[in-house]
Amino acid sequence: MPISRAELSEEFFDRTSAILLRQPEPQYLYAMLFKRALGIALNIPSMIGRQPYEIGGQGAPYSAPERDRLMLSADLGAELFAAQVNFTGEPGHTMKFNRPRFTDSTYTQAAREIGVNQSISTTPLVAGSEQALLTIKRFAGPYGATSVQPYGLDAFDSTMGVHNLSQFVGTHLGRDFDKTLDSFWVTLADLASTTVYPLGYAADNDITAKGQAPFTYEQQSRVSKIQDEANLPTLGDGRRIMVVSPTGKKQLKDDPQFARYCEFHKELNPMFPGWFGSTAEYHYFMSNTLTKSSNSSSVNIHKAHAIAPGVFLGGIGKTIGVRAASDDNYGETAKVIWLAYLALGLADNRFVTKVAYSEDV
Amino acid sequence: MSFPAQWVTAPGGTGDFTSAPVAGTTTPGTALSTANIAHGTLSCLFVLLADTNTLTMTAKFQVSDDQTTWYDLAGDAQNPANVAQATGTAGADTAVSRVLPVPTAAIGWKYIRAAVVNGVATGASIDTYAMTFHYRRFTGF
């Protein structure tokens, strides 16, 4: 019997490399937009816990949460925000934004002509206004099964890990913060007043098979027409924003009408890099965190967003950061959460249109 | 014809005659939008089990523009009668599977659905049907 690990296990042990492998993660496009538009960031301290017993950890560095993200798309522009509010130091939980509300009446010459000897009414009319509300709230994470719960780090073992465990906790907090923000904004954008389906379909459940109702250039043109007819604003170049999933991009590439249009235009021809940027009506962005839900035929229906500038309202309060619990076992356990006072809202749900299409075969 | 080939299988509806439809009743399946169907590629697999003695099951197609009013779709201008696909006997019966091509003019309507008509006898839960559409998605090439 040769001497081997099987026979002499006392002579062998395994090691954990300091190299940190990639965990594929999405870009969290909307979270990045919000953070950049309001100039906020979740700053993770190098040592976590309450003073004077912060836990620093040692070992190989643990990567920042952004390292593993697939940057599918350029960043969205801050012009999607109608207003950014800083609630710090000001009274009130809610900021109200007024918008004119026009009342239509009769606009014919016959109605407006003031005839000879005709008395003009002296009864005043009421002119209206409507409001959008932006309320600041307190949010925290991470979230366990039913409630917000902290990450806990033991001071004793934090000095013996392969990687820096305080950075480890910070990375997980940062990822949770970004994913939470992104989810908030996707849910808000899903409150769009209108959903546009591929031609021949009017509801999620009309689509009964995968690949049956792909995203098409015609659909994009119809969305553009709807937004034009609704008099929604555009960016300076006359375009609006379209945020689609990679499935939408692939389906547009396979769309015969789009192929005909771009056949002789290298900048739009999907055989060449960089084709997926802009059409005459929209600047295109991609996100892997848009809503995708199963319908009654078990077909996933994607919901893209066609957005006019000024759709969002955002606000911040005093606190955005990492907080430690006072319950720290005499300084031996750091329990931390992220905590933020944030305000998120839609200025107007008419400014975003949901664009639905089915998953591919 | 479409290229690259993109085969689509869409449910046409399944069920049984628990509702006890009397002879001559049309039992419809699930509506299918005709958008994005390549011309001449749409067919439907009918799997019909007529287990009630003497009961017949006949497949047919219906079209609609609003999913409210449905019209029977004839095979051609001679308005031929549909032929029973399965007939129940006194003993145990087995399901009969048949693929029927959908008349090509059907895609001029917004929706199509498959349906089953029971004949001779009132249906029961032992009489079952399953329809599945198959087609190639229109890709313009």
Cβ distance of A211 and B140 shorter than 8 Å: no
Q: The dihedral of CA B14, B18, B24, B28: what is its sign?
A: negative
CA dihedral in degrees (A91, A93, A98, A103; nearest 10)? Answer: -130
The two structure tokens encoding residue A198: 């591929």
Cβ distance of A208 and B10 shorter than 8 Å: yes
Q: How far apart are CA A253 and CA B140, in angstroms?
A: 13
Residue type, A116: V
A61 has pLDDT over 70: yes
Model confidence at A140, pLDDT cuts 50, 70, 90, reads very high
A218 Cβ under 8 Å from any chain B Cβ: no
Extended beta strands in A56-209, E state: 81-86, 94-101, 128-141, 151-154, 194-196
Rg of chain B over CA atoms, in angstroms? 16
Q: How far apart are CA A198 and CA B116, in angstroms?
A: 29
Q: Which 8-state DSSP code applies to residue A321? A: E
Instruction: State the pLDDT at residue A334.
Output: 95
B61: buried, middle or exposed (CB in 10 Å: 19+, 13-18, 0-12)?
buried
A332: buried, middle or exposed (CB in 10 Å: 19+, 13-18, 0-12)?
middle
CB–CB contacts below 8 A, A to B = 51
CA distance A279 to chain B (A): 21
Return the SS3 of A217.
helix
Model confidence at A26, pLDDT cuts 50, 70, 90, reads very high
Check: CB of residue B57 under 8 Å from CB of residue B116.
Answer: yes
Extended beta strands in chain B, E state: 7-16, 26-28, 32-33, 43-49, 56-64, 71-73, 86-87, 96-101, 111-119, 128-136
What is the arithmetic mean of pLDDT over B62-69?
93
Q: pLDDT digits over A219-272, tens only?
A: 999 999 999 999 999 999 999 999 999 999 999 988 888 888 887 777 778 877
CA distance B22 to chain A (A): 29
A6 Cβ under 8 Å from any chain B Cβ: no
Q: The dihedral of CA A237, A239, A242, A246: what is its sign?
A: negative
Q: How many CB atoms lie within 10 A of CB A212?
A: 30
Q: Which of B10, B139, B140 is facing A212, going by the closest CB pair?
A: B10
Chain B residues 31-60 with CB within 8 Å of chain A: 31-36
**Predicted TM-score of the model (pTM):** 0.86
Q: Show Cβ contacts of residue A118 under 8 Å, excluding neighbours closer than 6 positions.
A: none
pLDDT cut 70: percent of chain B above it: 96
A256 Cβ under 8 Å from any chain B Cβ: yes
Q: Which residues in chain A are contacts of B6 at CB distance < 8 A?
A: 211, 254, 361
Instruction: State the pLDDT at residue B3.
Output: 61
What is the arithmetic mean of pLDDT over A192-197?
95
Chain B residues 114-133 with CB within 8 Å of chain A: 133
The two structure tokens encoding residue B14: 């399944």
Instruction: State the pLDDT at residue A156.
Output: 92
CA distance A292 to chain B (A): 20
Q: pLDDT digits over A314-331, tens only?
A: 999 988 999 999 999 999
Q: Which of B9, B133, B139 is facing A254, going by the closest CB pair?
A: B139
For tokens 């005459």, name the residue. Answer: A280
Q: Which of A199, A257, A259 is facing B35, going by the closest CB pair?
A: A199
Q: pLDDT digits over A152-173, tens only?
A: 999 999 888 899 999 999 999 9
Nearest residue of A to residue B109, measured between CA atoms: A200
Identify the residue among B33, B63, B112, B137 best suited for mutation to test binding to A, counting A beta carbons within 10 A and taking the highest.
Answer: B33
Q: Which of B6, B30, B35 is facing A201, going by the closest CB pair?
A: B35
Q: What is the mean pLDDT of chain A?
A: 92
Residue type, A292: K
Q: Which residues in chain A are contacts of B35 at CB distance < 8 A?
A: 198-201, 213
Cβ distance of B34 and A254 shorter than 8 Å: no
Q: A274: phi > 0 → left, psi -120 to 50 → alpha, else beta; which?
A: left
Q: How many CB atoms lie within 10 A of CB A162?
A: 15
Q: Which residues in chain B are contacts of A206 at CB distance < 8 A?
A: 31, 33
Q: Which residues in chain A are contacts of B133 at CB distance < 8 A?
A: 209
Instruction: State the pLDDT at residue A260.
Output: 81
Q: How far apart are CA B105 and CA B39, in angstroms?
A: 9
ω into residue A61 within 30 of 0, thus cis?
Answer: no
**Phi and psi at residue A60, in whole multiples of 5°?**
-65, 145
Q: Which residues in chain B are contacts of A254 at CB distance < 8 A?
A: 4, 6, 139
Give B48's strand partners. B96, B129
Residue type, A104: D
Q: Which residues in chain B are contacts of A359 at CB distance < 8 A?
A: none
What is the arithmetic mean of pLDDT over B62-84?
93
Identify the residue among A212, A296, A298, A357 best suited for mutation to test binding to B, counting B beta carbons within 10 A and taking the highest.
Answer: A212
Instruction: State the pLDDT at residue A266.
Output: 78
Give B49's strand partners. B128
Extended beta strands in A227-309, E state: 240-244, 282-286, 292-294, 300-307
Q: Show Cβ contacts of residue A170 under 8 Å, excluding neighbours closer than 6 positions.
A: A44, A45, A48, A62, A322
CA distance A13 to chain B (A): 53
B19 Cβ under 8 Å from any chain A Cβ: no
Check: CB of residue A166 under 8 Å from CB of residue A46.
Answer: yes
Q: How far apart are CA A314 and CA A345, in angstroms?
A: 6
Q: Which residues in chain B are contacts of A295 at CB distance < 8 A?
A: none
Q: What is the mean pLDDT of chain B?
A: 92
Instruction: State the pLDDT at residue A91.
Output: 79
Cβ distance of A201 and B33 shorter than 8 Å: yes
Cβ distance of A201 and B141 shorter than 8 Å: no
Instruction: State the pLDDT at residue B4.
Output: 67
For tokens 């990450």, name the residue. Answer: A151
Q: How far apart are CA A346 and CA A81, in angstroms?
A: 9
Nearest residue of B to residue A200, measured between CA atoms: B35
Cβ distance of A260 and B6 shorter than 8 Å: no
Check: CB of residue B112 under 8 Å from CB of residue A208.
Answer: no
Nearest residue of A to residue B141, measured between CA atoms: A256
